[in-house]
Every structure is written in structure tokens, then in C-alpha cells.
């Protein structure tokens, strides 16, 4: 049976790269009727961040990435790793190292100065059993190091990169057990993958140089290694590695910003994977059917926010106004909203809407095509929901459009007069009526529609003036035109 795992370290919020690894591992397992395991690799206690595990579990749940086993915590399995380290010592595949940090630092500095790759010089491998016993009796701290094979080559087939080959002489003797008794990632990772029956390890490209160490450990234990797939790095548009220094990289950052989970999953899936068709929209169910690890690219994948915005816009537009309103409502808990007549609207109102709720839903529908993220919704909806939009004379008078005070006053008065004759306030009727007003006054479109836009919204940018008028309705439109005319006097 196929068995994959996601094994993050709780050192902060879940990175979008980690989310992609979790997604690909989950998809591969589901596609092959296998199992997906969650393991928390928390052996590095110095880097442990409070709340990171809770963030991880919350994020995976939000995205619908369900694990079949776990979460397992490596910090609770330390005795298992110590036992396996002892087995390596007995077989001669590991040794105790008593070198101080000072000696190791000087050794590395000397090697770098001689333009050599910094590697442990195996000084402690030369210690006799008597010398080792003496140091242990003196309670000198030590680590347990992996003894890499001295000959041959380490080969494996990577599902993304193809045939890989490493010379073990170029690979450092990795620390397996630290002086505090905790295992390093390398030992715990290999032991757990074997004991948990992991068949496929899908992880980031940054772990590729560690793979020969891991395969050497599998060989030392006499175990069959799993199949590896190393995913391409995530890159900024300038082709540098995606990192916190250049902006938001936590999956939660994008949740907070108002990106929909289906858009993020779709976007993350396409960061390195090509479906081989022109298709661009994939639900989680679609991905389970269509994802293929063989179609994952080797080259770095560019994290293009414009593509995410585009995908998110697509999913926002595909929502019903009711479903979109339910997503927007929690983001409207602001001071200005609490002071409006709409502050008491709840999700349950959308099932059997009263007049106020119908207007709210109409406003949501009007902004829907312009919306890139849910976070933009409160500002876009504000002018619909407040009683009176702000009056800005400098904005109303527009030299470029040839709108002076006299033109604005005339445009508003005549528009109001013509709109007042309408018995039905449909978009078509509003558009036809105001087109007639513009023609009758002998003005350009902007000389009439601009003063109306500013009078009705108080904003420089909004949906089209005809759409705004139709959404506001006759009563609100007339009232707002009157308010603006009063202030123009």
C-alpha cells in the first residue's frame, strides 16, 4: 500500500512551500488509495515555536487536507531513536564524537580558508575503546555521528529528477544524536519513515543533499529505502528563493488577506505541477483525479501573486451572492459597520431575506466582479451601507472631465428630474434615461456620470455609475443627490 507523510518542524507558521508539500503528499496518497500520515518533527527544542502545531493543524483542516494517521510527535519517541543509534554503534556504522564546538569551528574555518568544503575530519574515529571509555568516565559530552561509507556510490531514482548519484566521500559524517540526547532530523526521519511504513517521501529540493545520508542510514540498518520525490524551490518573481524577508510566506497570511481556500489550493497545486492541458481551474477533488508526480517540473516555480489574484477573482465570481455574503460578513465587524442599519444582519437572514437583507445582497452582487480578495469587500461595500457618503468638493469638481460647480449642479438636478419619472428602477431603464439626459444637456458622458458617481458614493473608484444607481435604488439615489446639491449651494 502507498503511504506518504507530511513531517514539518514546528518552528513557525506553516509556509506556503510546506503547504504544497502537504498537498502533493496528500494527493499522491489519495490518488493511489493509500494513506497519508502527519508527523511533527519537534526534536530541535531550541527552535520550537509556541502555537506552531496548533497553526499547522488549523491550516490543514481549513484546506481540507485530512491525514489518516497522527499527528505523531518525535519528541515523545526519543527512546526509539536512541535504541537505533546504539544499533548503529554496535554495527560500526556510527561513532561517538567528543570534539568541542571550539575545535569544530576552527576546523571549519581552516577548511574554508583552504577552499575546501567544510566536513568533519573524523578525529574521534581514531579514538581507541580505552580512550572512549576514559572520556565517558570523565563525563565529557559527546554526540553520535553517522559513519558514511568510504567507497562505492550512492544511487537512487528520484520521481522528479530521475537518476541521482552521489560520492559518499563528499558527504559529511552527520550528527545523529546530539549531546542533549535528542536525535537530529536525519536519524529520526529515517527511523520513523521505516517504522511507519512510508513508501514515498515527497519533500522540498532543499533536502536533496541530505538524501545520500539517509540512504546510507537505510543501508546501514538493512532496510529498503522509500521512493523519493524532491519538489522544486518556490521563487519570487525575481527568481530569488521565496523567504519571509520578501513578504508573506505563511499560508495563514493569505487566509487573513481574504483569499479563498479553493483558490489557494488551485494556485499552490500549479506551483511546479503542469496538468499537460490548458485547464487552469482545479478543485481538490479534481486534483486527486488528475495530479501526477511525474508532471512536476525540476526548475524552480515562480510564486506569482497576480496569478493568485486572478484565480481568487474567478472563485469569488463563481459564488452565489448569498454564499459570498456569508464569507464577507465576518470581515464587516468594523466601527463604521456597527453604526449602520445593517449591523444586525446575520447568516440566517440570507435564507429568507427581508427588504434590508435583499439590498445588502444586491450591494454584494454589485461589487462581486471587481473583488480580488475578501479583504477588499468592506471598503467596497461601505458607500452602499452608510447613511450618507462623504462630500468632497475637490473630488467632485474635475478639471480633466470639464466638471465645474455649475456643470455638476446642472448634471445632478437634471439627472434627478429624469430618474424621478421612472416607475421601475432597472439597470436598462437607468442607463437609457441617463443617456437621454446627457444627450439633452449636450454634455459629455463624464460631465454627468462623474458628478453622479461622486454624489452617490463619495469615492473616486466604484462600480459603474449605472450599476451603482440601480443597486442603491430610487429612494437612496434621490436622497444622496439632494444631499450633494445642498452642499453645493
Enzyme catalytic residues: 244
CB of 204 within 8 A of CB of 190? no
- Counting Cβ atoms within 10 Å, is residue 151 exposed (0-12), middle (13-18) or buried (19+)? exposed
The CB-based long-range contact list for 242-248 (8 Å cut-off, 24+ gap) reads: 242/16, 242/17, 242/303
Distance (Å, rounded) from C-alpha 483 to C-alpha 473?
A: 16
Residues contacting 440, CB < 8 A, separation 6+? 414
CB of 325 within 8 A of CB of 350? yes
- Counting Cβ atoms within 10 Å, is residue 13 exposed (0-12), middle (13-18) or buried (19+)? buried
DSSP character for 222? T
CB of 156 within 8 A of CB of 225? yes
> Strand (E) positions, 354-447?
none
The CB-based long-range contact list for 241-248 (8 Å cut-off, 24+ gap) reads: 241/300, 242/16, 242/17, 242/303
Q: What are phi and psi of 98, to 5 degrees?
A: -105, 5
> Which residues are bridge partners to 177 per DSSP?
144, 183
Cell of 236: 519570487
**Chain center to CA of 14:** 8
Q: Where are the alpha helices (DSSP H) in 92-210?
A: 101-113, 129-137, 185-195
Distance (Å, rounded) from C-alpha 1 to C-alpha 199?
A: 8
Distance (Å, rounded) from C-alpha 380 to C-alpha 84?
A: 60
For the chain, give the longest Cα–Cα distance. Answer: 107
> Strand (E) positions, 22-142?
35-40, 69-73, 94-97
CB of 324 within 8 A of CB of 318? no
Q: What are phi and psi of 295, to 5 degrees?
A: -100, 15
Amino acid at each position: 500500500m502507498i503511504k506518504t507523510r507530511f513531517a514539518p518542524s514546528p518552528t513557525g507558521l506553516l509556509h506556503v512551500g510546506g503547504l504544497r508539500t502537504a498537498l502533493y503528499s496528500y494527493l499522491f496518497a489519495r490518488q493511489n488509495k493509500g494513506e497519508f500520515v502527519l508527523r511533527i518533527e519537534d526534536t530541535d527544542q531550541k527552535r520550537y515555536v509556541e502555537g506552531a502545531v496548533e497553526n499547522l493543524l488549523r491550516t490543514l483542516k481549513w484546506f481540507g487536507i485530512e491525514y489518516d494517521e497522527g499527528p505523531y510527535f518525535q519528541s515523545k519517541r526519543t527512546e526509539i531513536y536512541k535504541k537505533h543509534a546504539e544499533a548503529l554503534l554496535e554495527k560500526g556504522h556510527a561513532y561517538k564524537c567528543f570534539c568541542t564546538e571550539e575545535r569544530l569551528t576552527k576546523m571549519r574555518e581552516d577548511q574554508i580558508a583552504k577552499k575546501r568544503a567544510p566536513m568533519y575530519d573524523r578525529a574521534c574515529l581514531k579514538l581507541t575503546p580505552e580512550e572512549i571509555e576514559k572520556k565517558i568516565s570523565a563525563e565529557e559530552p559527546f554526540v553520535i555521528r553517522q559513519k558514511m561509507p568510504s567507497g562505492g556510490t550512492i544511487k537512487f531514482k528520484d520521481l522528479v529528477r530521475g537518476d541521482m548519484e552521489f560520492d559518499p566521500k563528499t558527504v559529511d559524517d552527520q550528527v545523529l544524536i546530539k549531546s542533549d540526547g535528542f536525535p537530529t532530523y536525519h536519524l529520526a526521519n529515517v527511523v520513523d519513515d521505516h517504522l511507519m511504513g512510508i513508501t514515498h517521501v515527497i519533500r522540498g529540493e532543499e533536502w536533496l543533499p541530505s538524501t545520500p545520508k539517509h540512504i546510507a542510514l537505510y543501508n546501514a540498518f538493512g532496510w529498503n529505502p522509500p521512493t523519493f520525490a524532491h519538489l522544486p524551490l518556490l521563487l519570487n518573481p525575481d527568481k530569488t528563493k521565496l523567504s519571509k524577508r520578501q513578504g508573506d510566506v505563511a499560508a495563514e497570511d493569505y487566509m487573513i488577506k481574504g483569499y479563498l481556500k479553493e483558490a489557494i489550493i488551485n494556485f499552490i497545486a500549479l506551483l511546479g505541477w503542469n496538468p499537460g492541458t490548458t485547464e487552469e481551474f482545479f478543485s481538490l477533488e479534481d486534483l486527486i483525479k488528475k495530479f501526477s508526480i511525474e508532471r512536476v517540473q525540476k526548475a524552480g516555480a515562480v510564486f506569482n501573486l497576480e496569478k493568485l489574484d486572478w484565480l481568487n477573482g474567478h472563485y469569488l465570481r463563481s459564488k452565489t451572492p448569498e454564499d459570498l455574503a456569508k464569507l464577507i460578513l465576518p470581515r464587516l465587524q468594523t466601527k463604521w459597520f456597527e453604526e449602520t442599519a445593517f449591523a444586525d444582519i446575520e447568516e440566517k437572514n440570507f435564507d429568507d431575506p427581508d427588504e434590508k437583507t435583499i439590498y445588502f445582497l444586491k450591494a454584494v452582487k454589485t461589487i462581486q466582479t471587481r473583488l480580488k480578495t475578501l479583504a477588499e469587500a468592506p471598503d467596497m461595500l461601505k458607500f452602499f451601507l452608510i447613511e450618507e457618503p462623504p462630500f468632497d468638493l475637490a473630488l467632485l469638481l474635475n478639471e480633466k472631465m470639464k466638471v465645474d460647480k455649475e456643470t455638476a449642479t446642472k448634471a445632478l438636478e437634471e439627472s434627478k428630474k429624469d430618474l424621478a419619472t421612472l416607475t421601475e428602477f432597472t439597470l436598462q431603464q437607468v442607463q437609457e434615461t441617463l443617456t437621454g439626459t446627457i444627450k439633452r444637456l449636450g454634455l459629455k458622458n463624464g460631465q454627468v456620470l462623474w458628478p453622479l458617481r461622486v454624489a452617490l458614493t463619495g469615492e473616486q473608484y466604484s462600480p459603474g455609475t449605472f450599476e451603482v444607481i440601480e443597486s442603491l435604488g430610487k429612494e437612496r439615489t434621490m436622497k444622496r443627490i439632494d444631499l450633494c446639491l445642498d452642499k453645493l449651494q
